[in-house]
Structure 1
Amino acid sequence: MRLLAIVLALLIALLQWPLWIGKGSWLRVWQLDNELVAKRAQNERLKERNAALDAEVADLKSGTDAIEERARNELGMIRQDEVFFQVLDRRKPASGPSIASQIASAP
């Protein structure tokens, strides 16, 4: 009887092995579920980014306002009848040599 109990216990342990530790275990299912949640969140962010890019492409194809905005912001372009003013913040130190030092060192 004792031998039968040991054999049954071993048989139960062998049957439980794949459920808890094997390839299709609960731990692996939990890990895959977490990966799935992360991938879905990443896909949602990428869908939002793609929608924004699609809207920008459609705007660039349909009108000149977006083209003008990009030319102003990225290339620093201005219209012919406009005057450009640059306001310098005196609280921040200049990143390069100052204009006064460049003029003073000119021949």
Structure 2
Amino acid sequence: MRILALVLAALIIALQWPLWIGKGGWMRVWQLDTQLTQRQAENEKMKERNAALDAEVRDLKLGTEAIEERARNELGMIRGDEVFFQVLDRPEQAKNSLIGSSPVKIQLRP
């Protein structure tokens, strides 16, 4: 009777092995499901990027505002009736040296 129980247990384990760990088992299904979820997230990001690029192409083809904006930002172009002021920041070291420095003392010797 004991031998029959062991044989049946071994048979059940042998039948369950492919289901849980085998080539088409639950572990592989879980891995594929994880990969599918990742790919779907990547696809959503790409769809959003493509939609933004499509909108930009449409603006460049149809509207002049996008062309003007690019010309201003990337090429520094201005209209004929505008005045352009460019403010340059000093490097941090130059700011600190001007703030913390004391006046220069000049001594004259007779």
Provide TM-score, normalisation by structure 2. 0.74
2:71 paired with 1:61: no
2:17 paired with 1:13: no
Structure with the greater alpha carbon radius of gyration: 2
Gaps of 5+ in 2: 95-110
Q: Among the aligned pairs, what percent are the same residue? A: 76
Correspondences of 1:1-107 after superposition (within 5 Å): 1-90=1-90, 92-93=92-93
How many residue pairs end up in the alignment? 94
Instruction: For residue 44 of structure 1, report the CA deviation from its aligned partner.
Output: 0.8
Deviation string, structure 1 residues 59-80 (Cα, Å, up to 9, x no partner): 1110111011011111222223
Letter of the 1:55 counterpart:
A
Q: CA RMSD in A?
A: 1.8
Provide TM-score, normalisation by structure 1. 0.76
Letter of the 1:65 counterpart:
E
Question: Could you tell me how far apart the structure 1 residues matched to 2:92 and 2:78 are?
Answer: 26
Instruction: For residue 91 of structure 1, report the CA deviation from its aligned partner.
Output: 5.8
Q: Which runs of 4+ in 1 moved over 6 A?
A: none
Gaps of 5+ in 1: 95-107
Match for residue 100 of structure 1? Answer: none
Instruction: For residue 42 of structure 1, report the CA deviation from its aligned partner.
Output: 1.0
